[in-house]
Amino acid sequence: MRDSIAMFAVAPMMDWTDTHCRYFMRLLSPSALLYTEMVTAAAIVHGEVQQRLSRRYSAGMISLRPSEDGQIFAYEGVEWLQDRYGEWIIDSHFPHPGTPTQPVDAGFMANAWVRLRHPDYDGLRGIMDEIGQTVKVYAR
């Protein structure tokens, strides 16, 4: 019978692996394998890069589903979003009124979305929660 090796591994794609979570995971398993950066083969082969990876900002994306299926006819809170968080917005997509809504299986970029950055991960999560509760996409 073979000896099995139990491994506890976490990749950074999970949006809740902030500093506190990583500390907790190390308490659970000191030998935990906590991946921090994904490096592509091209980066290794081609060597020098113009800009090194940075942890200066956390980034996130929030998808805004329409109130129902049909055609988008209005937005609520977009001006508030620009006024309050304009400096942290990387980019956004708000389809023109009259655009048909896309089904859920079309993917997260099918309807309205906003990408943001912020120097504090927990601050970014709070901002995205507030945007999700405030900005509305109406369809009929």
pLDDT digits (tens, 9 = 90+) for 97-126: 999 988 766 655 558 889 999 998 889 999
Domain residue ranges of the chain, discontinuous segments joined by +: 9-46, 58-139
Specify the higher pLDDT residue, 3 or 128. Answer: 128
User: Which pLDDT value is given to residue 1?
Assistant: 44
Identify which of 6-15, 87-96, 108-117 has the greatest average pLDDT.
Answer: 87-96
Q: How would residue 134 be classed by pLDDT, with cut points 50, 70 and 90? A: very high
Residue 94: DSSP 8-state? -
Q: Has residue 58 got a pLDDT over 70?
A: yes
Q: Which stretches of 12-120 are DSSP H helices?
A: 19-28, 41-46, 78-85
* Contact (CB, 8 A) for 104 and 123: no
> What are 60-77's pLDDT values in tens digits?
889 888 888 889 999 999
> What is the homologous superfamily of the domain 58-139 according to CATH?
ATP-grasp fold, B domain (3.30.470.20)
- The whole-model pTM stands at 0.59
> What are 14-56's pLDDT values in tens digits?
556 666 777 777 777 777 776 655 556 666 666 666 666 666 7
The sign one gets for the Cα dihedral 81, 84, 86, 87 is negative
User: For residues 58 and 21, what is the distance between their CA atoms, to the nearest angstrom?
Assistant: 15
